[in-house]
Structure 1
């Protein structure tokens, strides 16, 4: 599941957890000489949202994404908030950000993180950029309904590009396997040969499991418009991950250090390539969320 705040797209592991939404109403109190005060409704207060989200490295460096979120707060501008279901919640400003790292490397690099964000409703003029060229069928482009272009209408008219959904899903699965493999490699690469021998089967198994989603990614990319770069990404990932797997066989105490390092280099290569494509993959994921693909 995903959530989008402005142009910042996040993976949410199990939906938005611990989400709190508060709505208030403002009432004026008029004192009386005798008796209890009378209340007069003035208007509704601003809604507030508090929620947690999880940053994943396959969509980009969590440190960079956290910095992007903080930069968005510092711009003091309202942002559109869209849930993973496609529901447009409204325009909000960021009032508070806190970060709890979940996994880091030995040198302190952030692998994954839980981020808590507080938002407050923005009631001023705001127009989310929802309509894109080519989104509405040409048969209805000149109609009044097309000019209104409400989110509900757009949702009904937008074509269902299941291939794009498959690309996003396969990339997510492959990224999870590659990240786990890299975590194992980084954690034990400097250990003794006996330890490397015990960890090598797990590293090889993760590489094997990643090959299926990578193959699916490559195939699905051939069915989306301008998907050549994604298909090429899939092919390069397949080569790197295949190299990581084959490097771990056969193994013994004499060759395990060199073979483990070679396999880790292939895994790191795949991780870097997937990380380099994070902007492209994020764009595809955002299309799925906003029901444009």
Structure 2
């Protein structure tokens, strides 16, 4: 994860291509009868951030992701901006969203587009909201933040999570990445080797990034009552995802089809394991919501 703005996450793996940060200082200009004007510093200007991203079906439903952005802007609220490292940057508002469709269907549906999101610092009183971790979204192609509930991000401004909350947070993070990797595999598995070669690094990166949350899930589950089934499930997840990652190295045009298929099979196995544990994880989420865990 690159950053979180309120409940909205920005990921390199989801199409983000960069962030531009701009800071200013305010100076008053005093004219003189002779000579050049004098400048007097009167304060710091507001920070401005610009995110640039590409929306594409392989990276998530473009229409859903764009709608999520617009809904967040329409709330007219300052939002906590946190980097993936856990550094809390401050409060920002969404000032503008520009969207340039690159490819659409005959009925106007967006297949791909270039999007810029402008943010401006909010300097007024602000208290970040604390978000409860939940389960993996059924429509995983949206971009509402799940990792806001992971310890690295909330440590700057939220209470310490219980072990059950950690289990749910880690499970959601890992599940999102596994789902994204499976989406890539399902979308391009029947394409030509050159296409597979361009998509394989992204699938490998998602598998690599999922290993940390899966390890965290295993550890956190070992501390909760009757959590051994989750421990066993997550150990199987780790094995499948690690194999999916290693299957994609090394790559060349001659081997990419077989390696991509092997990796996709492991990712599918991991997805099925996670899906099979959904009822169990829903029960834990219910305990968190009712404050019993």
TM-score (norm 1): 0.49
Between the two structures, name the one with larger relative contact order (CA 8 Å, sep ≥ 6).
1
Q: TM-score, normalised by structure 2?
A: 0.49
State the structure with more CA Rg. 1
